[in-house]
A = this chain, B = another copy of it.
Amino acid sequence: MLVVKIGGGTGIDYDLIADDVSRLVRAGNKIVVVHGGSALTNEVSEKLGHPPEFLTSVSGYTSRRTDKRTLEIFEMVYCGQVNKGVVERFQQRGVNAVGLSGIDGRLWEGPRKSVIKVIRNGRKMVVRDDFTGKVEKVNTGLLVSLLEQGYLPVLTPPAISYEGEAINVDGDRAAAMTAAALSAETLVILSNVPGLLEKFPDESSLIRKIPADEIEQFMDVAKDRMKKKVMGAMEALADGVGKVIFADGRVENPLTRALEGEGTVIGG
């Protein structure tokens, strides 16, 4: 079992990824795809007159301010435009994809964190009524049923809170939880960089290999969105995933190359 996370950043080539994933599915690999849609959500939010806002938590993580209207736009982009665009790409390649969000079938369930402590202009503040949270439970029954029927699951945030509300969750960490729940051998996280960079954004400073027990030390090396990928990798490895690979989603055969060892290989 292989879980592939496709980032939502600019430059990601969905067609090349779909080519490669389709080839691997046809070769008999069981794959679950997870994708984001962050860059496009920013764009659509601007156009719809509800510009994106990002919060920095007191522990240094960046997340999207998700009020009710943002959540709607988020769902339009992630579950509508991007998810159906990805599913259509697979269908055109003869792979019978099924797109689902984390709220469908309570696929990704977890606590909502409606109150967030943030740093704004150097001051600690509290933001309320946010629709964010994290994935604690994965409905593997639904995923396994789809895989057994020959479908390719294509998953995307939001997730669902224990109270039944849609919540914005980090896609990388949701992919990590999914890989762990399915006891996947490998989690590949494709983004618009070649992997974890020692000196971001210098792509020649790619870190090639990290032993599973040393990953925590690399939290400081990771910048911005890469932080959550590293955190996802730690969670996945701790929960029994064989290895996690951060690789480049802008190139031909991105998944095959990642599985052959390109990018940053963690554990394994």
How many protomers of this protein does the assembly include? 2
Q: Are B99 and A87 in contact (CB under 8 A)?
A: no
Chain B positions within 8 Å of A165 at CB level: 88, 92
Of A78-86, A168-176, A202-210, which binds chain B?
A78-86
Q: Chain B nearest CB: distance from A135 CB in Å?
A: 15
**In this assembly, does A72 line the interface, its C-beta being within 8 Å of a C-beta of chain B?**
yes
Q: Are B91 and A164 in contact (CB under 8 A)?
A: yes
Q: Chain B nearest CB: distance from A69 CB in Å?
A: 11
- Distance in angstroms between the alpha carbons of A83 and B79 in the assembled complex: 9
Q: Chain B nearest CB: distance from A138 CB in Å?
A: 14
Interface residues as binary, A79-108 with B (CB distance below 8 Å gives 1, 0 otherwise): 111011101100111101111110111100
Question: Chain A interface secondary structure, helix, strand, loop or mixed?
Answer: helix
Chain B positions within 8 Å of A246 at CB level: none
User: Within the complex, which residue of B49, B77, B145 is in contact with A76, where a contact is CB–CB below 8 Å?
Assistant: B77
- Distance in angstroms between the alpha carbons of A80 and B97 in the assembled complex: 17
- Distance in angstroms between the alpha carbons of A148 and B88 in the assembled complex: 26
Chain B positions within 8 Å of A105 at CB level: 96-98, 151
Chain B positions within 8 Å of A85 at CB level: 72, 75
Q: Are A141 and B145 in contact (CB under 8 A)?
A: no
Chain B positions within 8 Å of A91 at CB level: 103, 106, 160, 164
> Which of A's residues lie within 8 Å of B, judged by CB?
44, 47-49, 72, 75-81, 83-85, 87-88, 91-94, 96-101, 103-106, 141-142, 145, 149, 151, 158, 160, 163-166
**Sample of 10 A–B contacts (CB below 8 Å):** A77-B80, A78-B80, A80-B80, A80-B81, A88-B160, A92-B163, A92-B164, A99-B104, A105-B151, A141-B149
